[in-house]
Structure 1
Amino acid sequence: MSTRPSGQDRPADPAAPARDGAADRVLSTAPLQSDSTQAVTRTFEQRFPGIHVDAVRVTPMTGIYEVQVGMDLLYTDAQVDYVLQGSMIDAHARRDLTAERLEALQQVAFGSLPLDHAIKQVKGTGARKVALFEDPNCGYCKQLHRTLEDVDNVTVYTFLFPILTPDSATRSRNIWCAADPAKAWKAWMLDGQEPAKAECDTPIQDNLALGRKLNVQGTPALFFADGTRVNGALPLEALKKKLDALGQEPAPAG
């Protein structure tokens, strides 16, 4: 199953379960809606009651199918007599096909994110864009914001994602409802300045639902304009390199 990324805070009991060769050895990019894959789906769910199969795909290994359950990948035969967990390696090209699949599954179209539910901070031209899922009590998030102080020409969208401590939701609400949420967020994350009590309608429950949908299990989680994501705080040079590689505005959704 998935392992905890470094540089990321996670709740003690996360709700969610936890990636060059010849073209004929590449895993298919979508579920193959055939009789065989549908049969594997039915049989798998019968063998494991309560487990929902999100997708079944053929693999380059004859007679073996990839079974997607949430963000986990398993492998099985056509009769689901045996189930394997681990990495499928293309021995000729030395490629980890499982890792490639998981990376593709985690990509998110930046334009599809509800950015009006996020705190927006613009530095310089704001040309590069990154969306963060953060808990106000996340130490690694605070470390990331100290790193961002040395990054220019970036727009940062923070989705408040209170999952770590009982007062995370209260502090998130106070920050969102402040007269200047971006200022209140920065004051808390960089200087430890407690936000004043405030109440209003917030998007926090929507953010939590979105995070579950995107399989965000810890904070910070970073989503870049090219659709890629990183779980955990990046060091300065790695963050600059990633942002420098973006190069263009994200395409709108739809």
Structure 2
Amino acid sequence: MKHPLSLAALLLCGSLSTLVQPALAEPSGDQVLSTQSSSRAAPAESSAPARDGAKDRVLSTAPAQSDSARAVARVFEQRFPGIQVDAVRVTPMNGIFEVQVGMDLLYTDAQVDYVLQGSMIDAQARRDLTAERLEALQQVAFDSLPLDHAIKQVKGTGARKVAVFEDPNCGYCKQLHRTLEDVDNVTVYTFLFPILSPDSTTRSRDIWCAADPAKAWKAWMLNGQDPAKAECDTPIQTNLVLGRKLNVQGTPALFFADGTRVNGALPLEALKQKLDAQG
């Protein structure tokens, strides 16, 4: 679901009161379902990470930027105060630069006299270069995830792996777990990501602090069995920050071992295909 305001509209009105939330690419041909916070804002329990901290920025893996790219970034930020440019790259189109703002892409000339938002298409090769770039930006090295902050469930050999950001009150997350009942030889890492209601935070805490978090999580997600009230230190706030850093906008958000992601609950066959493709 796209945010009702485009980044281009925000640039025109000069307002940053609502940060654009980009639509994330989904695999074609399969229906994926996710639940999003009604406000689409950061949960009240934790403030958003500072955008000026290098460790909190979503950065490209591209080589160091050229002098011309750095100049474009500098002029862009001068023309649009409050907008922080994460990266600038040259494009195949002569004189046009790609500007990355968070997880959004814009295009501009060297003088930043004109700014475009939309897809850049390679007409000869019939390739959507913008979609390819966005897909690359969304990839996450699986080994970089702090898996000790997730609830671990192992089925069969556990050879295949998937990490999922989930809210305990997310209906599509529950649907995903019903689907997983028919999937074998998989390890599921659940990052508790309560964004839907205050009750989500309380229930996440009780599940994490249970004597057997995996058992408590499964009992709730599959059978609606409330966890007993419990108190302990949790990684929930850390998970919220991590989710925002990874641009998780709704639940469930699935991260696979090959670095790809899917935003939403996949049907059984599509999920099996994704796991089988992990090698």
TM-score by length of 1: 0.90
C-alpha separation between the residues in 2 aligned to 1:103 and 1:69? Answer: 15
The structural deviation recorded for 1:55 is: 0.1
How far does the alpha carbon of each residue in 1:113-171 deviate from its partner, in whole angstroms, 9 at most, with x for none? 10000000000000000000000000100000000000000000000000011211000
**Structure 1 residue 194 and structure 2 residue 226: aligned?**
yes
Give 1:61's aligned residue.
93
Give 2:191's aligned residue.
159
After superposition, the CA RMSD in angstroms is: 1.4
From 224, 241, 244, the counterpart of 1:209: 241
The structural deviation recorded for 1:13 is: 1.8
Give 2:266's aligned residue.
234
AA partner of residue 154 (structure 2): V
**Structure 1 residue 179 and structure 2 residue 211: aligned?**
yes
C-alpha separation between the residues in 2 aligned to 1:184 and 1:114? Answer: 21
Superposed, which structure 2 residues align to 1:1-254 within 5 Å? 1=6, 2-3=22-23, 6-15=32-41, 30=62, 32-247=64-279
AA partner of residue 184 (structure 2): D
Q: Which runs of 5+ in 2 are unaligned?
A: 1-5, 7-21, 27-31, 43-59
Q: Structure 1: which 4+ aligned runs deviate by more than 3 Å?
A: 3-6
The structural deviation recorded for 1:3 is: 3.2
C-alpha separation between the residues in 2 aligned to 1:246 and 1:237? Answer: 15
Name the SS of the counterpart of 1:147 in structure 2: helix
How far does the alpha carbon of each residue in 1:29-64 deviate from its partner, in whole angstroms, 9 at most, with x for none? 725522211110011001111110000000000010
Aligned pair count reads 236
C-alpha separation between the residues in 1 aligned to 2:188 and 2:199? Answer: 24
Name the SS of the counterpart of 2:83 in structure 1: coil
AA partner of residue 145 (structure 2): L
AA partner of residue 264 (structure 2): G
The structural deviation recorded for 1:99 is: 0.4
TM-score by length of 2: 0.82
What percent identity do the matched residue pairs reach?
Answer: 86
6-15 vs 74-83, greater mean Cα deviation: 6-15
C-alpha separation between the residues in 2 aligned to 1:159 and 1:194? Answer: 18
C-alpha separation between the residues in 2 aligned to 1:207 and 1:15? Answer: 15
The structural deviation recorded for 1:15 is: 2.9
